[in-house]
Amino acid sequence: MKRRALLLCVVILIQLFVTGCWSRRELNDLAIAVGIGIDKIGDQYQVSAQVVLPSQIAGSKGGSPQSPVNLYKATGNTVYEALRKITTLSPRKIYISHLRILVLGEDLAKEGISSVLDFMSRDTDTRNDYFIVVAKDTKAEDTLKILTSLEKIPAVRLFSSLETSEKQWAPTSTVTLGTLITELVSKGKNPVLTGVVINGNVDVGQTQKNVETVDSPTELKYSGLAVFKEDKLIGWLNPEESKVYNYLTNKVKSTVFYIQCPEGKKVSLDVFEAHSKIKGSMHNDNPEISIEQHIESDIGEVQCRNLDLTNPKTITELEQIANHKVVHLFETTIKKVQQEFKSDIFGFGEVIHRSNPQAWKKLKDNWDQTFVNLPVSVKTDIKIRQLGKVTNSFLEEMK
């Protein structure tokens, strides 16, 4: 009995020691990668990792200012191989749990993105909270080179400005790996990704000078959505059209658009609530889509002199103009996507699938063709709620 108890103690103690803390990694053994860019060069993948230099971000030590991040890149036959090859350059293991942004090069996107996504979804270190964007007209590597101010880490800047612009301005879209893969797999919806462009010279952008001046010579900017067909990039939507995409996918939280008042000048509307209902139906074996868009907005800015906002009729009139404008915008955008890209990024197929699963079985194999000529009717219902701090503009009194 005594011997057995002693043995048990020894076994437990040995277990404690032989583990050798096997998966232990100290904070200062990690190269925290916040941004990863993937480009295709010939047959090979080039992976670039933007790694944070913590002491430059949070340290209080003096000394000459270094760049807050380093970029390590390597090429390989697969993404994983390239990523591991980086250790030949970097002193520490690339740690990608805190990835904030994954940039895909335009060349890669045109060839198809699905081959690189498997690694990202399989790797046990990654979390699904980073955003995926496409580098427009440039290599992914270059977008990770640009230094930014205000938010010192460029990848974190890309992350937060995408998040903010989706909330406040709407023509961008935050896509995470989960959504992207769901949309790739789905037959009734094709994915979109936000595009990031470099405004200015890359060589200037990667030097400290870029953050030393008030007006940075080189800046990263989001611009429109990249339209995919299956997993291949086939074209770009401009910001206005991108906004329509966000309205239809119910992603608009707040945005601003303008309408023209009867005298020809402009009125800005501040949208604070938008909700769209897409309904699918079958008419003689032909699918149809009807869209109902509700928008609630406040008046944000008035440039017109002859506008009596205290009169309810004026408000109704403005609402009419807005309705007209939005319907027109919706229709032209949908038409463009149908005719030019032939890719169902709005998920109309999914709508048909939900409303009529039987019909979808027949439609799904040929959906791309059907989508091109799909009749879509748009109805909008725009409400103007509040006028802000003043009622009529002082411009009216200046007459």
Query: Which positions lie near another protein, rule CB under 8 A?
Result: 1-2, 5-6, 16, 19, 21, 23-28, 30, 32, 34, 52, 54-55, 57-59, 95, 97-98, 100, 125, 127, 153, 156
Q: Which is nearer to another protein, 35 or 195 (by Cβ)?
A: 35
Of the candidates 83, 80, 72, 76, the residue with the CA atom closest to the CA atom of residue 42? 76
Nearest distance from C-beta of residue 133 to another protein, angstroms = 17
Q: Which is nearer to another protein, 32 or 192 (by Cβ)?
A: 32
Q: Which is nearer to another protein, 128 or 201 (by Cβ)?
A: 128
Of the candidates 79, 116, 93, the residue with the CA atom closest to the CA atom of residue 26? 93
Cα-flanking dihedrals φ and ψ of residue 269, to 5°? -110, 135
Q: Which is nearer to another protein, 92 or 187 (by Cβ)?
A: 92
- Residue 375 DSSP class: -
Nearest distance from C-beta of residue 349 to another protein, angstroms = 36
Q: Which is nearer to another protein, 5 or 150 (by Cβ)?
A: 5
Nearest distance from C-beta of residue 272 to another protein, angstroms = 29
Nearest distance from C-beta of residue 139 to another protein, angstroms = 25
Question: From start to end of the chain, where are the E strands?
Answer: 30-41, 44-52, 69-76, 93-95, 101-104, 131-135, 192-199, 219-229, 232-237, 255-260, 266-283, 286-302, 376-384
Give the type of residue at 254: S
Q: Which is nearer to another protein, 11 or 16 (by Cβ)?
A: 16
- Count the neighbouring beta carbons within 10 Å of the beta carbon of residue 270: 18
Nearest distance from C-beta of residue 289 to another protein, angstroms = 41
Beta bridge partners of 198: 220
- By residue count, the chain amounts to 399
Nearest distance from C-beta of residue 151 to another protein, angstroms = 10
What the block records as the tokens of 103 is 């940039």
